[in-house]
Homo-oligomer: A and B are copies of this chain.
Amino acid sequence: VLLDLADLDALARGCGVLAGGGGGDARTGLIVARAAIRRFGPVPLVDLDDLPDDALVVPAGLAGSPPVANEKLFAGDEPLRLAEDVERAWGRPADALMPLEIAGVNGLYPLAWAARLRLPYVDADGMGRALPTVPQMAMHLAGVSPSPFVLTDERANTIVARSGSAAWIEELLRASLTTMGGLAACAIYLMPAATARSAVIRGSVTRALRIGRAMEAAADPVQAAREATGAIELVSGRVIDVERRVSGGFARGSAIIQEAGGEGGRLVRLELQNENLVALADGRVLATVPDVITVLDAYTGEVIGTDRLRYGQRVVVLAFPVDAVWRSPRGLEVAGPAAFGIDLPFVPVEELHAAAP
């Protein structure tokens, strides 16, 4: 399968839906991917089974603050520098790129880089959604080392860092990103294809494409998104309050949506930290991280990220099951509510909404 210009709109839509409110604005990635494919041609989408066991798989994407990704465009030589430093650090060249997260800009930037490097794009990712920290990766759960990682910024600075400790890698990454203006192109959790087969979330690119294509083809893109993801509609209504602050390097806050149907409508509260973390109504949990909570424009089906929620928007909030890797005890330890400081048990969204017997 080749990923070509005609696939990019659908991919961007799908990456938006899967992001759960984070991952930056997929449309920025769309611009960059379109330019790269126009210039360097379409990119082969490959399954891990089609790569030799020892092929070097390079998970890549923008690391840092998603809002910065909406302002700072990377369209230069960063994939070349990333590939050079990967080859120096591993003593062999990259064989394929894989998106770190199939979400927002990060479903599309690494595709642009694959086009530039004339490398295939792996149909998989590390998160199955957007999540804010380095250890929140399927590769981390599988015991793949994040060391060494490679970073490069738009000024042609590059950093390669190694550590025996994943916690230190996170420290080194945060500090490096700060120096690099809050955002950089990143390659981390590199591994041979044989390891990747059981260490990543497979089929993610195809999944995003399927969601996006269903939305493109439908008269009602919101319902199409709901069906394609198997989502539950948590609420349809109007944003009546948004509160935001930046703390600890994260965009935190909350939004309140009043259910359509007049003044008496139910109030649904979303807790935000880069992504949509929890949806609550009348003291009841409607959905919680790591399940995916996505806000769509009620009319156009356009994804509204946490940074673009505004008073007065007419929205539909969907929630759907995250990849099973995050629902395991170890997955919940790393990306469950407690990992975000939220004192709630995780209950799968489909159980929260099961019809009473």
Contacts and interface: CB of A to CB of B under 8 A. Distances in A.
Contacts of A51: none
A159 to B, nearest CB: 5
Dominant secondary structure of chain A at its interface with chain B: mixed
B157 A159 contact: no
Interface string A108-142: 00000000000000000000000000000000000
A165 to B, nearest CB: 7
Contacts of A176: 159, 172, 175-176, 179
Interface in A140-191: 148, 155-165, 168, 171-172, 175-176, 178-179
Contact of A160 (B156, B159, B168, B178): B159
A55 interface: no
Interface string A230-248: 0000000000000000000
Interface in A77-99: 85, 88-89, 91
A174 B176 CA distance: 10
Nearest to A152: B162
A158 B176 CA distance: 12
A331 B88 CA distance: 35
A157 B89 CA distance: 14
Contact of A158 (B156, B163, B175, B178): B163
Contacts of A91: 88
Nearest to A84: B162
Contacts of A160: 89, 159-161
Given A171-B179, A179-B172, A179-B175, A165 B155 contact: yes
Given A175-B175, A175-B178, A179-B171, A161 B163 contact: no
Contacts of A162: 85, 156-159
Interface residues of A, number: 23
A165 B155 CA distance: 9
A214 B123 CA distance: 71
A173 to B, nearest CB: 10
A132 B148 CA distance: 29
Contact of A163 (B88, B157, B163, B165): B157
Contact of A159 (B88, B156, B159, B178): B159
Q: Which of A85, A164, A179 has most B Cβ within 10 Å?
A: A179
Nearest to A174: B179
A156 B164 contact: yes
A28 to B, nearest CB: 25
A206 to B, nearest CB: 36
A163 B155 CA distance: 8
Q: Which of A156, A162, A163, A176 has most B Cβ within 10 Å?
A: A162
Contacts of A168: 155, 157
Interface in A282-318: none
A88 B148 CA distance: 12
Nearest to A155: B168
B159 A161 contact: yes
Contacts of A165: 155, 157
